Amino acid sequence: MDVAQVLIDGKWREADAEGTFHAENPAKGEAFALAFPTSRWSDCDLALTSATKAAAELRTINPAKIATFLDAYANNIEAAAVTIVAAAAEETALPITPRLKDVELPRTTNQLRQAATAVREESWRHATLDLEKNIRSCFAPIGPVVIFGPNNFPFAFNGVSGGDFAAAIAAGNPVIAKAHPLHPNTTRLLAEQALKALETSGLPLATVQMIYNVSNENGLKLVSDPRIGAVGFTGSRTAGLHLKRAAEDAGKPIYLEMSSINPVIFLPGALAERSEQLAQELVDSVLAGSGQFCTSPNLILIFETPQTEAFLAQIAKSFNDRAAQPLLSTAGRKQLHQGVTALIDAGAQLITGGDHAPGDGYRYANTLLRATAKQFLAAPHDLQREIFGNATLAVTISNQFELASILRLLEGNLTGTFYSAKSGADDVTYNDIAPLLREKVGRLLNDKMPTGVAVSPAMNHGGPYPSTSHPGSTSVGIPTSIARFAKLDCYDAVRPERLPDILKDAIANPNTWRSINGAWVKG
Amino acid sequence: MDVAQVLIDGKWREADAEGTFHAENPAKGEAFALAFPTSRWSDCDLALTSATKAAAELRTINPAKIATFLDAYANNIEAAAVTIVAAAAEETALPITPRLKDVELPRTTNQLRQAATAVREESWRHATLDLEKNIRSCFAPIGPVVIFGPNNFPFAFNGVSGGDFAAAIAAGNPVIAKAHPLHPNTTRLLAEQALKALETSGLPLATVQMIYNVSNENGLKLVSDPRIGAVGFTGSRTAGLHLKRAAEDAGKPIYLEMSSINPVIFLPGALAERSEQLAQELVDSVLAGSGQFCTSPNLILIFETPQTEAFLAQIAKSFNDRAAQPLLSTAGRKQLHQGVTALIDAGAQLITGGDHAPGDGYRYANTLLRATAKQFLAAPHDLQREIFGNATLAVTISNQFELASILRLLEGNLTGTFYSAKSGADDVTYNDIAPLLREKVGRLLNDKMPTGVAVSPAMNHGGPYPSTSHPGSTSVGIPTSIARFAKLDCYDAVRPERLPDILKDAIANPNTWRSINGAWVKG
């Protein structure tokens, strides 16, 4: 049997495997021929030892080499794009165009290049100089970072190429990536390009290592190993909370993005003005990526207005008209169905969908459920369950008081959205209610669906627990995301010639912003 | 029996007490007459409910009022300084002058005023505007903060007046302070001044609440309550780790400062140049506050040179010559003795001290121990035990390789210090060794004892685990410390008139630094 090799210490090598698995083509429901190994602890151990050595080397290296690597990796991914995109399409059933080729792959290389720019500029290090007291500080690498990527973005959140990866590398840390077992071949192809870029840029070859799978026990051991600096995780709440406890008990910072239902609120004036257009926007957002987005609207809050029933009917009709796309896995479809069933059990009414859909692969009918605010308030826990897939729950609201009560009972979310009248007719309600939603979300939107997550320095792809593990940090947005993987190094009365270049009185880099005696100064 | 009242919801009120305790005068070993309550959960519950309301009000208030409160509180503390200092001296046995009156109290009011300045300037909010994408973000209050102060700084780290307090309030959060049971009366007097300042500045009166003590069980319940935003803790590792797990399991960020042995390294050239002066500096640092500083040097690493034995003899002589000062408590003395005994059991040799000292109160003889590098390397865990008090361990080192081996085995520390020759004779060794120490500490010093912790924007009073819970954050240093108690609020396409003032295109505050399209701009 052909078994893929793992990337450890700069070499593709046979894994010390305790088993193998096969990924599937979810559009066909067929397993691929290539087997992938589940690594024993010895693979993790070797990766950890190699990462420790690489971390020490990286601390002494000219950061420009890290930037060179990130740019070279982006170039390599583009040069191999046809192969990588084809593999991802096979493993995820996501469309090659526009999704994989025209959106996610360019987003991924853009992230790597933005990270390269941040490394060259060095402003992310937040150099702070108190010249009078001769105390200086800046961010520095935290140590090897273990990254778990999710199932739903094979490039942009992949442990070996995504946002956490770019941030951890930009901070000067080696990465040990765990591939998601639903797209191991895509991850393998990316890691090949990473290794080539390491070779040409002169970074330690163990700066990027990749294994495909480990037992749950070894996963917990990995995130709590003394040799690591921090952990990045994007995935399910169940897996995330297990890793969180293990890492935190060992004193290791762990950044998790776990779950979010992304409430979208339609105020009465917005429905009166443009309900047809809004229904269309909502359908596009809920069905994007078959609803398998962290920012997919799972909870729609709609005031009962003369337009509301037509609005819901239009959504239901669009859901029926559009063909259900394959989900990422049979397990995902099963969980989606369990979620829909649980919502119904908790009082929601099924409008359309609610079962497997015809066609090849793991399809589930586009699903709309509804409930009243009273029902939601009677079962707030069960009715804010995340349903990861092409399904959403609309809750109709008879007055502002009900809406306020619902918002107060929401868990933390990545995003929250208001649609309101352009005329200003909803402004009084907005001003009353927005502060309640503001408290529960990382990103507040107006008149725009939350599904898109721009790579901007001002982005917050984060939010209050349990959507993430810390409401003050973001996994998307450069340079902000980089500081998560840094320690704060202070120099008190350290002799000038011994200071890192970035903290010397005169700085060579003309592009670095530093805070000197309380004022931000460039170069 | 006279029992002190707790400060909950803007009122001094009788606690719902499950017991009472008395603080002691550690210089006399006598208990004070006034009893203090151990609160039942109902006190915590009421404080949490009141803090939740205050948090909502604070979010809508002009931040200038928060600054007014911080300044007024600093003024009030100064006006009541004689009483407060006298109470602290009685409860801690720390000298009124210079320590309490001339150093710690001014430091405390200075911190409050620096926090007020940061609130007025608003640069701590790290406003970031991406005008092209119309995405904007800034830090915002995280919610009610529970603060546990330590035993050793009755003002500057007190839960109701110290650095964590100033940072949490500056971020716009109400504080629930737990007094340290060794100085409840000092804390009560400070809280009185806080309440007066709340009244005159127009903040919600529940912005500052204070209880004296709770059971361990209720402490864990408090830090994991859904109504809180975050926790600040300074104290012992044992207590800290219990609170850490409870808070983190509930998804609550907790910032802990727990333990540190603050290695100080004397390179050969430094001893050759100025060993007498250095011995003096070391003695002053180790005995400052009877060694009850988080940054007290517990581990001295000295190369074996012709000066080394005289250097150690001079330290021993000074330790003998200086009268031992009372420690903070009988429990502290017991733990110190246990620590010294454990070091001896692990192979250290007692040079001087090692037992209770004569005089009133809880005195322990100034204690010097020594060991060889070989002994340290044979018992690295036991010989890096924190000894909180006027004792230190000197480890003699025969070569650079031994020093490197020791540094590799150190746990995370707040500080690490090198003394080296002014002539440059130690520079080669420094350059080889400093990177190893750099990895293990938050603050690296040259030719300066670590005991002083300046309140500077460039300070890092933090360090790798287990000295603190996150190596990227600091509990001292404004504005850096404030962001710990903040969430990141992102606004995506939010209509201009609905943005917080700090994120509007034009800003009214001329003193605020903002990052606009990647450049820092003021006003």
Render pLDDT for B206-264 as a digit per residue (tens, 0 to 9).
Answer: 999 999 999 999 999 999 999 999 999 999 999 999 999 999 999 999 999 999 999 99
Query: Is residue A91 predicted with pLDDT exceeding 90?
Result: yes
Q: Looking at residue A186, what is its pLDDT?
A: 98
- CA-nearest of B49, B46, B53, B52 to B16 is B46
Strand partners, B356: B364
Enumerate the residues of chain B whose CB falls inside 8 A of the CB of residue A253. Answer: 470-472
Query: Is residue A464 predicted with pLDDT exceeding 90?
Result: yes
Distance CA A107, CA A461 (A): 15
Structure tokens at B213: 């003590």
Q: Determine which of A107, A281, A418, A439 to mutate to test the interface with B (most B C-beta atoms within 10 Å).
A: A439
Residue A454 carries which DSSP code? -
- Length of chain A (residues): 523
A44 is catalytic: no
Residue of A136, A480, A513 lying closest to B520 (CB–CB): A513
Backbone angles phi, psi at B231, to 5 degrees: -135, 140
Say yes or no: ipTM exceeds 0.90: yes
Pairing of strands A175-178, A208-211: parallel
Place of tokens 């500052």: B208
B257 is catalytic: yes
For residue B299, the distance in angstroms to the closest alpha carbon of chain A comes to 19
Helix-then-strand count for chain B, H and E: 14, 23
Strand partners, A520: A515
Distance CA A96, CA A154 (A): 12
CA angle A179, A180, A186 (to 5 degrees): 70
Residue A126's contacts (CB-CB under 8 Å, 6 or more residues apart) are A138, A139, A483, A515
Enumerate the residues of chain B whose CB falls inside 8 A of the CB of residue A465. Answer: 251-252
The answer to whether the beta carbons of residues A368 and A318 sit under 8 Å apart is no
* pLDDT tens readout for residues A266-317: 999 999 999 999 999 999 999 999 999 999 999 999 999 999 999 999 999 9
- CA-nearest of B333, B365, B354, B390 to B29 is B333
Give Cα separations from A426 to A278, A282, A432, A434 (angstroms). Answer: 15, 19, 10, 11
Q: Looking at residue A523, what is its pLDDT?
A: 86
Prediction pTM value: 0.97
Q: Looking at residue B523, what is its pLDDT?
A: 85
Active-site annotation holder among A24, A121, A257, A386: A257
- What average pLDDT does this structure show over A374-390? 97
Q: How many CB atoms lie within 10 A of CB A423?
A: 11
Residue of A135, A438, A462 lying closest to B459 (CB–CB): A135
For residue B405, the distance in angstroms to the closest alpha carbon of chain A comes to 15
Distance CA A159, CA A156 (A): 9
For residue B175, the distance in angstroms to the closest alpha carbon of chain A comes to 18
Query: Is residue A156 predicted with pLDDT exceeding 80?
Result: yes
SS3 assignment, position A11: strand
Strand partners, B129: B136, B516
Residue of A135, A483, A488 lying closest to B456 (CB–CB): A135
Residue of A135, A464, A473 lying closest to B458 (CB–CB): A135
Strand partners, A257: A234, A468
Enumerate the residues of chain B whose CB falls inside 8 A of the CB of residue A464. Answer: 487
Q: How many CB atoms lie within 10 A of CB B33?
A: 8
Contact B472 A442 (CB under 8 A): no
Distance CA A208, CA A196 (A): 11
Enumerate the residues of chain A whose CB falls inside 8 A of the CB of residue B515. Answer: 457
Chain A: residue whose CA lies nearest to B250: A465
- Give the relative orientation of helices B400-409 and B427-440 as an angle to the nearest 10 degrees: 10
For residue A336, the distance in angstroms to the closest alpha carbon of chain B comes to 26
Residue A392's contacts (CB-CB under 8 Å, 6 or more residues apart) are A286, A291, A296, A297, A298, A299, A300, A367, A368, A369
SS3 assignment, position A176: strand
The answer to whether the beta carbons of residues B176 and B48 sit under 8 Å apart is yes
Would you call A345 exposed, middle or buried from its count of C-beta atoms within 10 A (0-12, 13-18, 19+)? exposed
Query: Cis omega (within 30 of 0) on the bond before A479?
Result: yes
Structure tokens at A387: 């349903």
Distance CA B494, CA B133 (A): 11
Active-site annotation holder among B91, B104, B257, B402: B257
Chain B: residue whose CA lies nearest to A139: B472
SS3 assignment, position A154: coil
- What average pLDDT does this structure show over B106-127? 98
- CA-nearest of B479, B53, B18, B473 to B231 is B473
Contact A491 B130 (CB under 8 A): no
Q: Determine which of B58, B122, B137, B256 to mutate to test the interface with A (most A C-beta atoms within 10 Å).
A: B137
Residue of A435, A438, A458 lying closest to B128 (CB–CB): A458
* pLDDT tens readout for residues B258-313: 999 999 999 999 999 999 999 999 999 999 999 999 999 999 999 999 999 999 99
Q: Determine which of B422, B456, B467, B521 to mutate to test the interface with A (most A C-beta atoms within 10 Å).
A: B456
SS3 assignment, position B293: coil
Query: Is residue A490 predicted with pLDDT exceeding 80?
Result: yes
For residue B402, the distance in angstroms to the closest alpha carbon of chain A comes to 19
Structure tokens at A504: 């010397």
* pLDDT tens readout for residues A160-215: 999 999 999 999 999 999 999 999 999 999 999 999 999 999 999 999 999 999 99
The shares of helix, strand and coil residues in chain A, as percent rounded to the nearest 5, are: 45, 20, 35
Contact A474 B488 (CB under 8 A): yes
Enumerate the residues of chain B whose CB falls inside 8 A of the CB of residue A434. Answer: 498
Contact A245 B244 (CB under 8 A): no
The string of DSSP codes covering A181-194 is TTSHHHHHHHHHHH
Contact B457 A244 (CB under 8 A): no
Enumerate the residues of chain B whose CB falls inside 8 A of the CB of residue A446. Answer: 492-495, 498
Long-range CB contact pairs, A38-42, < 8 A, 24+:
A38/A212, A38/A213, A38/A214, A38/A215, A39/A6, A39/A15, A39/A211, A39/A212, A39/A213, A39/A214, A39/A218, A40/A15, A40/A16, A40/A218, A41/A214, A41/A218, A41/A221, A42/A16
Contact A248 B248 (CB under 8 A): yes
Structure tokens at A350: 């099924």
SS3 assignment, position A92: helix
Contact B493 A448 (CB under 8 A): yes
The answer to whether the beta carbons of residues B231 and B247 sit under 8 Å apart is yes
Distance CA B176, CA B53 (A): 13
Average pLDDT, chain B: 97
Q: Looking at residue B170, what is its pLDDT?
A: 98
Residue A288 carries which DSSP code? G
The answer to whether the beta carbons of residues A4 and A34 sit under 8 Å apart is yes
Distance CA B515, CA A352 (A): 47
Percentage of chain A beyond pLDDT 70 is 100
Residue B179's contacts (CB-CB under 8 Å, 6 or more residues apart) are B36, B149, B158, B159, B160, B187, B188, B210, B211, B212, B213
Contact B128 A464 (CB under 8 A): no
Percentage of chain A beyond pLDDT 90 is 99
- CA-nearest of B262, B225, B247 to B463 is B262
The answer to whether the beta carbons of residues B69 and B113 sit under 8 Å apart is no
- What average pLDDT does this structure show over B426-455? 97
Residue of B430, B493, B522 lying closest to A447 (CB–CB): B493
Percentage of chain B beyond pLDDT 90 is 99
Enumerate the residues of chain B whose CB falls inside 8 A of the CB of residue A412. Answer: 251
The string of DSSP codes covering B505-517 is SS-S-TT-EEEET
Enumerate the residues of chain B whose CB falls inside 8 A of the CB of residue A469. Answer: 251
In chain B, how long is the greatest CA-to-CA distance? 73
Residue B126's contacts (CB-CB under 8 Å, 6 or more residues apart) are B138, B139, B483, B515
Active-site annotation holder among B104, B121, B138, B294: B294
Structure tokens at B265: 């390294």
Q: Looking at residue A145, what is its pLDDT?
A: 98
Chain B: residue whose CA lies nearest to A461: B490
Distance CA A210, CA A475 (A): 20
